[in-house]
Amino acid sequence: MEKIIDIEDRIPTLREKRRKRTNIKFIVLTTVFVFILFLLLYFQSPYSNIKKIEVNGSVIESELFYLKQSGLKQDDSMWGFRKNEVEAALMENNWVKSATVERKLLTKVIIQIEEWQKVAYISKDNHFYPMLENGVILEEQSELLPLDAPIFLSFEDEDLRKRLLKELVKLDKEVLALISQINATPTSTDPFAITLFMNDGYEVRAEITTLASKLNYYPSIIAQIESTEGYEKGIIDIEVGSYYRSYSDEYASMKFDGAGEGQEVGQDEEGSAQ
């Protein structure tokens, strides 16, 4: 037989449950109130202002340039700007590849800039203008012969320039550093033919469409040539295979038809000389 509990016996338990619910509600409301009060005080205080702006990745332009471009200033509100709007303003520069803005530690803003890589120079009216990997030609000019990147000559076709720049970016850095000058030398049968003059004294004849995949083997080709007794510097043709001809043979063949013989050079799939 079930025991019947008198309502009077349950009153203390009900009162205790009601008291606990009331305490929980009070704690929640008090916490919300304190949080809102804290936010109000924070937004009204100097602690919600920008105390430091850090710019990273600037090479083409200075940190001060990007800081002005962003429109952000110290003591501005940390929450008074939209990140996407600042990033869009920075991306208006055609040499900027990407731009990100982050808030850090309530008072710090970090601007991260990634610029398009400078790959070459182009010669115009006896001046040299830097070219970026996306094809942009910077207005900065110099009359001095640049040494940190190859020079383009006779490249009036913008699409051709952009295609070549994309190939140069794929090159190993040590190979790219060896290129002094690149001339466009198109023919009726090959509009992509180019001639490269190397800092170590060799001349390379190549095609834009396969330049990176073949020229990255350049150190191996040179090692093979220079391992031959009595070698001479000359012309390396990588348009189709890998073919070498000394300058003396090349110049002799220009004077006398059929004079001079070439030497075939190449690499296996791992890049070692065959």
Angle at 204 between CA 238 and CA 156, to 5 degrees: 105
Q: Which among 101, 111, 103 has a CA at the least distance from the CA of 63?
A: 111
Name the token pair of 199. 């800092």
In the chain, % of residues over pLDDT 90: 60
- Which domains can be identified in the chain, with CATH numbers? 47-115 (3.10.20.310), 118-264 (3.40.50.10960)
Model pTM score: 0.73
Separation between Cα atoms, residue 167 and residue 58, nearest integer Å: 24
Give the pLDDT confidence score for residue 212 in this predicted structure: 96
Instruction: Render pLDDT for 159-182 as a digit per residue (tens, 0 to 9).
Output: 999 999 999 999 999 999 999 999
- Is 137 a residue whose pLDDT tops 50? yes
Which residues lie across from 109 on neighbouring strands? 53, 103
**What residue type is 155 in one-letter code?**
F
Instruction: Render pLDDT for 49-95 as a digit per residue (tens, 0 to 9).
Output: 999 999 999 999 999 999 999 999 999 989 889 999 999 999 999 99
Give the pLDDT confidence score for residue 58 in this predicted structure: 94
Separation between Cα atoms, residue 42 and residue 79, nearest integer Å: 11
Which residues lie across from 193 on neighbouring strands? 207
Give the pLDDT confidence score for residue 203 in this predicted structure: 97
Separation between Cα atoms, residue 180 and residue 146, nearest integer Å: 9
Q: Are strands 127-132 and 118-124 parallel, antiparallel or unpaired?
A: antiparallel
Give the pLDDT confidence score for residue 274 in this predicted structure: 44
Give the pLDDT confidence score for residue 15 in this predicted structure: 67
Give the pLDDT confidence score for residue 267 in this predicted structure: 58
